[in-house]
């Protein structure tokens, strides 16, 4: 009886691990992984630097001048080159072709 209990606990333990592993794989698949083939440099910068505190906001949600303000506000640690590349994606690229990757 004791053994059975241990087996059941072990099964749940491993099932739990797999669930966590799976969700991490899925998360990294859609947010933090660079995805070199489909993402532009600005887009991968954006998803790498700006998704730690909140979901990624679609480029269409804000105008260019608003994005400039937000990238300055939240991207204080970024180099000016990184900010430029990111803004390029958020403003021009984002407004012309929305979710077209
Ligand atoms: C340290 C945590 C943190 C990081 C990193 C961060 N943000 Fe934010 N961001 C916040 C918080 C907190 C709010 C909500 C502020 C509020 O609602 O007043 C916010 C709000 C925003 C908003 C406005 C909310 C909306 O609905 O439109 C934009 C745009 C935004 N962030 C862009 C960015 C960009 C771009 C980056 C990367 C350069 C970034 N954030 C990185 C914490 C962060």
- What is the model's pLDDT at position 94? 44
Range(s) of the domain holding residue 77: 2-96
Distance CA 40, CA 89 (A): 8
- What is the model's pLDDT at position 97? 44
Residue 48 domain-assigned (yes or no): yes
Residue 42 domain-assigned (yes or no): yes
The whole model's pTM is what?
A: 0.68
Reduced 3-state DSSP string for 43-59: HHHHHHHCCCCCCCCCH
pLDDT tens-digit readout, 48-99: 999 999 999 999 999 999 999 999 999 999 999 999 999 999 997 544 444 4
Check pocket membership of 95 for ligand 1, CB cut-off 6 A: no
Residue 70 domain-assigned (yes or no): yes
Check pocket membership of 87 for ligand 1, CB cut-off 6 A: no
User: Is it the case that residue 37 has pLDDT exceeding 70?
Assistant: no
Check pocket membership of 61 for ligand 1, CB cut-off 6 A: yes
Distance CA 66, CA 98 (A): 17
Our count of domains for the chain comes to: 1
Asked if residue 22 lies in contact with residue 59, where contact means CB atoms within 8 angstroms, the answer is no
Residue 101 domain-assigned (yes or no): no
User: Is it the case that residue 19 has pLDDT exceeding 70?
Assistant: no
User: Is it the case that residue 1 has pLDDT exceeding 80?
Assistant: no
């Amino acid at each position: 009886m004791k053994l059975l209990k241990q087996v059941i606990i072990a099964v749940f333990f491993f099932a739990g691990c797999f669930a966590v592993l799976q969700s991490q794989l899925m998360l990294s698949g859609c947010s933090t992984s660079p995805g070199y083939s489909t993402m532009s440099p600005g887009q991968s910068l954006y998803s790498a630097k700006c998704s730690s505190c909140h979901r990624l906001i679609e480029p269409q949600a804000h105008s260019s001048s608003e994005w400039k303000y937000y990238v300055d506000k939240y991207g204080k640690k970024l180099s000016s080159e990184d900010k430029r590349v990111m803004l390029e994606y958020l403003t021009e690229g984002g407004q012309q072709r929305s979710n077209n990757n």
